[in-house]
Structure 1
């Protein structure tokens, strides 16, 4: 697992020890960023299921100004911090150990809005539809912002969720990438 492109291209990233997380492959990571970027001119991101931090670090490497990483697993939090430190990105990131829904409530209090929200929850416990409804209810996505949802191919997300519209959907084996924007 490595950073695919940008100013940190080629740096290796550690995976979370054990089998509780499923790292996004470099091939799928490249495809995701070709769909949503591939590069950014600043902006703020939220990686709500940070895992190893690979997707959020990729966004930072490709020009996103800052990223908030959230994960409820202590091993994942340690791995994210190690990877950010190794990539010299700690000054552009915040890392929190929290449940996704509680994190959204806490972020709302800070009155933050995001250019990019990454939703890559564990395949076994996906609540993507509910999370996207919560993101809208809490006004966490900028008007021109993007939500990237990674999910299993047996999960069918609606084309329209509130004011969000699916603008792209690609299948990579068992993995589906769905991109949502305000309609």
Structure 2
């Protein structure tokens, strides 16, 4: 009798297939645009913040988001900046070095009728901070720093410098939000004792509030 072929799959001995890291569709969670959709391409180079983490972050920031300028240094879909505007931010600067993804941000801003409140940069965020930060208005900011997690290892020096620069340059009453994972120890954040770090596994989120400058 001929043997039946095995129904078991052979183990994948190569790299595991990459999958999108967020369930589609995405949406705005709160504010004036609550439940409006945000498109996500599924490109694995983009790691949108999980919805439950985004909701937790904005709950922690609370009403202090209002009248602040949102800055997202690794913008991906633009969800954080668009959510910030929905909740009362005056506008958003969204930096995304991957050009096709930056075009997706524009499409999302257009769909939400926020084009006039959004400035999109197809740019390297490390260079952007160095060149553009001094040009920003000195009203309070809310800054999202949510890079690929491995940047905290492979580009550790650049990440540290970027965060230190933001702490130094951000106007009083600004808020910084950093997202990382267990590859990085939050105790190594600049001015570490003044970060409020929460864990929403696998994400770790640190929130820093900028006080009055001396």
TM-score normalised by length of structure 1: 0.89
State the 1:112 CA deviation. Answer: 3.2
**Other structure's SS at 1:59 match:** helix
Match of 1:121 among 137, 147, 164: 147
Task: Give the length in aligned residue pairs.
Answer: 180
Question: Where in structure 1 do 4 or more consecutive aligned residues deviate above 4 Å?
Answer: none
Written as runs of structure 1 = structure 2, the 5 A alignment for 1:1-183 is 1-38=26-63, 40-113=65-138, 114-126=140-152, 127=156, 128-137=159-168, 139=169, 141-158=170-187, 161-162=190-191, 165-166=194-195, 168-182=196-210
State the 1:39 CA deviation. Answer: 6.0
Q: Is the 8 A contact 1:45 1:115 kept in 2?
A: yes
Q: Is the 8 A contact 1:148 1:179 kept in 2?
A: yes
Q: CA, structure 1 residues 38+32, in 2 after alignment: closer, same or farther (shift >3 Å)? A: farther
Structure 2 alignment gaps of length 5 or more: 1-25
Q: CA, structure 1 residues 130+105, in 2 after alignment: closer, same or farther (shift >3 Å)? A: closer
Q: Measure, in 2, the Cα distance between the counterparts of 1:104 and 1:152.
A: 23
Q: Is the 8 A contact 1:46 1:117 kept in 2?
A: yes
TM-score normalised by length of structure 2: 0.77
Task: Tell which deviates more after alignment, 156-165 or 76-85.
Answer: 156-165
As a proportion of its length, which structure holds more strand? Answer: 1
Q: Measure, in 2, the Cα distance between the counterparts of 1:27 and 1:16.
A: 20
Structure 1 alignment gaps of length 5 or more: none
Look at both structures and tell me which one has the larger radius of gyration over its CA atoms: 2
Q: Measure, in 2, the Cα distance between the counterparts of 1:60 and 1:11.
A: 13
Q: Measure, in 1, the Cα distance between the counterparts of 2:113 and 2:136.
A: 27
Q: Measure, in 2, the Cα distance between the counterparts of 1:32 and 1:77.
A: 23
